[in-house]
Structures are given as C-alpha cells and as structure tokens.
Structure 1
Amino acid sequence: MLIDSHAHLDFYTTHPTDREEVLRRAWDAGVKTILAIGIGENPSQMHLALDLATSVTGDHQPQIFASAGVHPEQAHNATPEALAELTRLAAHPRCIAIGEIGLDYYHLENPDIPVQQQAFIAQMKVAAGLRKPIIIHCRTSELATPKAKERYGPADAAADTYNLIDEHFRPSGLPGIMHCFSGSVDDARRALDLGFYLSFAGNLTYPKAQGIRDAAAFAPADRILVETDAPFLAPIPLRGQRNEPAFVAHTAAALAELRGISPEGLADLTTENFHHLFPSTRQPGRA
C-alpha cells in the first residue's frame, strides 16, 4: 500500500468524471490514501479539498484526507477573513494539516517578502493553536527567474523559511512536512533538526536532481514520505505528462532503489511514517 502525501485533487476537472477516473487508477496502483491539498487557486477555494475528503466514499476508492492553507503566492489574500476561514476548516477532523504554506521568491509577480512572511507566521499560529502539523512550500531562490532575483535581491527563501519555523513553530513541538523536498543534505539536516519529515516527489527521478537524491539517501528511514504534487511534476518515465496519484509508485520505486530496499519495503515504511505523523489516518485494526 502506498500513500500520496501531497496531491491537488481539486484540479482534476477536465471532464465530468475526470477525478473519479484518477482516483480509480490510484486505487488500482495500490495508492489507498491521499492527502488532498487545500489551497485551490486562491483562499476562496481552500474548502475544496475538505469537501472531497468528506464526500468521496465507496469501494475501490482511496481514503482522502485534507489540508487547508494560503499558498505564499496568494499571501496578499491572507486577510483576517481568510485566516478565520482557515481556522474553521482546519478544525475539522478530516483536515489533518495546515498547508501548503511557506515562502516563495521564485516569480517576479509573487507578493513582497514582508507580506509573505506575515501570512506564513499567521498560519503557523493557527496550526499551533489547533495542534496540527504544517506542510511547507519552499522553492529555492537559486532557481528563481532573473527578474525575481533582481527584485528580491540576496534574500533566500529556504533560509528565511527555516528561520521563521524555528522562531514561530518549533516551540509548539509539532512536526511538519517539507513538501516536494528539493534541497541539499545540509537543508535536509536542518529540516530534520526542526522535527520535520521530508516528502519526495517526481523531481527525485530527474537527471539533474542528484542533490535531492543525496538528501533522500541521507534521510533517516522514519522521516521520509512520498508524494506526487499532482497534477505537477510527473516522474520519469512519465515526465511531461499530467501527473496523478497513481504515478507515486514510480517515485517510490526510485526512492527504494536509492535506499537499497524493495519497493514493497519502501511502501510499508512511508505508509507507517505517514500514520505516525497523522495518527487519525490509521485504519481501524492497524497497530
């Protein structure tokens, strides 16, 4: 059994049965649980993932849990009203995390740094108050567009993210997930020191991603997860296609090979890690 720890299920709307077909293929591929990320296109759509988590039921369907959050690209819309709605959604038992939240200095049109940081801190406070883990979006500034680098200057999104977590979330004692982990071994070490899990996506399989693979091999066995970030970042051999939860099997196989274990062993390991992080997701009858 595999768990996709990060998928944007509300994005599957190309035809009336698109999402149902995606979920059926996930089930057939052995993906029995999906964490649907509740950011939507903007904060007015944060509820969509929880709507799915509370409505999708039946045989041959993965169980779905949800998160809710304001993405850093939408930080300017993290109004008091949006934060109140986030608090309401996140209080639901099927909403198991706040996210994805964080910082992103990658695009020229992203909000100003103080706006992003204010929204990030506010959401960490919501998570701490509700005793929910957080899911972190952190895109390295090294890959930012040239105009974004000019705008944001020497600021580093990863360094700022870790510093703000250390100051505003670490005292809560709560864990979190570094979603689509794309950093170095040093970045991994700092995330782990903060109590976070590292979730690896399809970019783990890309030829130029040796740094991510080094971090994936380094990470402790009890702190790794797998995800798709679907519909984005399809893994090799499906790169360029629309990603979907069924494809997490390819990333899991690559991660298993890196760590010298069987795909079945990797599936068992990451499933147990997910349930340890989110105990309410464990099916009745499991230890």
Structure 2
Amino acid sequence: MLVDSHCHLDFPDFAEERDDVVARALDVGVARMVTICTRVRQFDAVRAIAETYDPVYCSVGTHPHNAAEELDVTTEHLVRMAEHPKVVAIGEAGLDYFYDHSPREAQQQSLRVHIAAARETGLPLVIHSRDADDDMIAILTEEMGKGAFPALLHCFSSGRALALAGIDLGLYVSFSGILTFKKSEELRAIAAELPRDRLLVETDAPYLAPVPNRGKRNEPSFVAHTAKVLAETVGATEEEIGAVTTENFFRLFSKVPRV
C-alpha cells in the first residue's frame, strides 16, 4: 500500500478524466490521496473533489505564490474550514523566493497565519519551501518555540541544513519525483541521511512526473516510482518503504481513517 500525500486533483489537467486518475491510483495500491489547496478562495472546489471520492482527502490554505492575494485570510478562517471531516491538513503555505510571485513579507505573514492554524487544529502544516532555507529555518524555529505544531516539508528539494533542522523540530520530509531525476544525487544523499520514520512520498501531480514518466503529466499512480527510488536510496525493499511511508502518513495525517 502507498499514499500520495500531495497532489492537485482540482487542477484543469485532470478535469476530463478525474474518475480514471483516481481509479488508476487505486489499481496500483495507492489507497489514500490528499489533494492540496493553493487558494482559500478556491477551497470549495478542492473540498468537493474530496467529498466525491472516498480515498481522497484535502487541505485548506494559500500557496506562497498567492499570499498577497489572500492576506485577508485569518487563522480563524482556516480553523473553521478545517472542521470539515475531509480536511486533514493546513496549507500548502510557505516561502518561494525562486519565483517571488508574492512579496516576501506577504509570504512570511501568510506562513505564520497557517502555522497558527496548524497549532490550533493539530492538523499538519504542508510547507512549500524553495530558495528560502535560511528564512524558513528561522521562522519554523521561532514559531515552534511559541508552541509545537505538526508539519512536513513537502516536495523536498532544498539543502541539507533545512532537512536536518526540520527533523530536529519534529517535522516530516516528503519526496516527489525529483528524487528520481538523474541529477538529484545530492537530494538522494540527503534522503539517505534522514530517519525512516519521518519519510513520506508524494507526486505533486500534475507536476514533476518521476522517471520513467518524466515529461508527462504526473498523476497519483506514479508515486510508486518515487517510492521505488526512495527504497533503493535508503537500502530498503519496496515493500518496506511502502509500509514505512504509509505508517508515517497516518501518524502525521492523523485525521485520515486508516485503511
């Protein structure tokens, strides 16, 4: 059994065949999928997908690209929407200094709002971090000092320092298809160093399809390829890494019913 801890089934890429995409995932043993919200203003569409498919759950939150658009979203808003039984996470929120689609101050403000919601609800914060390692470490360390909250560094492609800081703070780390890319030796070295009980796998579909499907539209069924490479990276069998990452998922995403 596997879990795709992060995909975007509400994106237009899946509009014409969402039923088939979910069915293909189930056929290869992907028993749970979490479709991730990137704009609170579009949460209703994300929630509707989770309500439509029993194995699919969702989050509520604002991606850092959209932070400036949704600075009126408060912790109270997020907490209230997270009461829905299918909402199992907060985010994705974080810092993206590679694109800087929103001012960095807006991204940081939004991130802290989401952290407060994760702390209050006990739901895991799904963290997006790109080219922002130092600020992310500083904010997470400061905020964790105010009170613990569950979280994971999703689609991890940052440096070793952020990975180890996250582990020290009690976070989980999720790997996507990037782990399978030929030039990802450094990323695989980081993955090999992390404790197995903090590892998750994801697709971030429709983006970042893993080898051997690189260049194609990604989908939840492809998470098996990432899990295979993660197993090779940490010296485990595919069955072992499937069991470990699935157990880690249910421990972190504790609102999701176990299979």
TM-score tier after normalising by the smaller chain length: over 0.9
Larger radius of gyration: 1
Percent sequence identity over aligned pairs:
41
Task: State how 1:80-95 maps to structure 2 within 5 Å.
Answer: 80-81=72-73, 84-95=76-87
Tell me the equivalent position of 2:69: 77
Tell me the equivalent position of 1:43: 40
Q: Kindly provide the amino acid, as one letter, of the partner of residue 216 in structure 2.
A: Q
Tell me the equivalent position of 1:164: 139
CA contact (8 A) 1:138 1:161 kept: yes
Q: Give the length in aligned residue pairs.
A: 259
For 1:196, which of 171, 176, 194 is the aligned residue? 171
Counterpart CA distance in 2 for 1:15 and 1:278 is: 26
Give the TM-score, by structure 1 length: 0.85
Task: State how 1:195-214 maps to structure 2 within 5 Å.
Answer: 195-214=170-189
Structure 1 unpaired stretches of 5+: 58-62, 141-156
CA contact (8 A) 2:5 2:200 kept: yes
Counterpart CA distance in 2 for 1:206 and 1:79 is: 36
CA contact (8 A) 1:43 1:82 kept: no
Counterpart CA distance in 1 for 2:149 and 2:27 is: 34
Counterpart CA distance in 2 for 1:190 and 1:168 is: 13
Counterpart CA distance in 1 for 2:107 and 2:73 is: 17
Counterpart CA distance in 2 for 1:115 and 1:52 is: 29
Establish whether residue 264 from structure 1 lines up as the match of residue 239 from structure 2: yes
Counterpart CA distance in 2 for 1:165 and 1:15 is: 36
Give the TM-score, by structure 2 length: 0.94
Change (3 A) 1:24 1:218: same
Task: State how 1:1-287 maps to structure 2 within 5 Å.
Answer: 1-13=1-13, 16=16, 18-39=17-38, 42-57=39-54, 63-81=55-73, 84-107=76-99, 110-140=101-131, 157-283=132-258
Root-mean-square deviation (CA), in Å?
1.7
Counterpart CA distance in 2 for 1:81 and 1:139 is: 22
Counterpart CA distance in 1 for 2:226 and 2:14 is: 25
CA deviations over 1:228-278 (Å, ceiling 9, x no partner): 000000001110000000000000000001111111111011001111112
**Range with greater deviation from structure 2 (269-278 or 44-53):** 44-53
CA contact (8 A) 1:7 1:36 kept: yes
Find runs of 4+ consecutive structure 1 residues off by over 3 angstroms. 12-16, 81-85
SS of 2:52 mapped into structure 1? coil
Q: Kindly provide the amino acid, as one letter, of the partner of residue 108 in structure 2.
A: Q
Counterpart CA distance in 2 for 1:84 and 1:70 is: 14
Offset of residue 131 of structure 1: 2.1
Change (3 A) 1:13 1:268: same
Counterpart CA distance in 1 for 2:73 and 2:56 is: 26
Counterpart CA distance in 2 for 1:232 and 1:15 is: 15
